[in-house]
Amino acid sequence: MASILLGITGGIAAYKSAEIASLMVKAGHSVQTVMTESAFEFIGPATFAALTAKPVVSSLFESTPGYPLGAHIELVEKVDLFCIAPTTANLLAKISHGLADDLLSTLCLTYTGKLLLAPAMNCEMWEKRVVQRNIAQLKEDGYYFVGPEDGWLSCRKTGTGRMAEPATVFKAVTDLLTQQ
């Protein structure tokens, strides 16, 4: 029974995050979802609020009931694992440089435990040297990764960039939790 922070960024694969949240909840974990503004373009917060039985948090500045010190501080307390699935190229770039301009990226700085990233993007984005540089930096900094996988991409191409399947992400989560 663990406490998991589930981050969702703005990529097509965000629809698969509902399955990841569901697998976590079914395993008995407590899941708090944090979405970026872009993620709302791909899937609605009501889905995650219902699956996790907790309101989704997204804003750094709007006062969130229950978080008088700021959600970026209080949401990381007593969290066993922080998993961001999908992780966009944009978030990879931001966190590899320590940028913190929204709630999710700020949480990446305030959180001190294991952080698992499931990148998902078009194959051209994935192959960009800057993206690979950011990933290499994040690996060196101790971030954990699952995927991406090869296969069919929503841009109607086959290549690398597909988010790891929900069951694979969930297995990576379980493996990291067991290592603790």
Angle of CA points 98, 104, 105, to nearest 5°: 10
Site string (109-128) toward ligand FMN, x via CB under 6 A? -----------xx---x---
Question: Which parts of the chain fold into alpha helices (H)?
Answer: 17-26, 45-52, 71-74, 89-96, 103-110, 123-127, 129-140, 166-179
Structure tokens belonging to residue 71: 């959600």
Terminal alpha carbon distance of the chain: 12
Site string (139-168) toward ligand FMN, x via CB under 6 A? ------------------------------
Site for ligand FMN in 125-144 (CB under 6 A): 125
Contact between 81 and ligand FMN by CB under 6 A: the answer reads no
108 is an active site residue: no
Contact between 12 and ligand FMN by CB under 6 A: the answer reads yes
Residues 91, 117, 118, 146: which binds ligand FMN (CB under 6 A)? 91
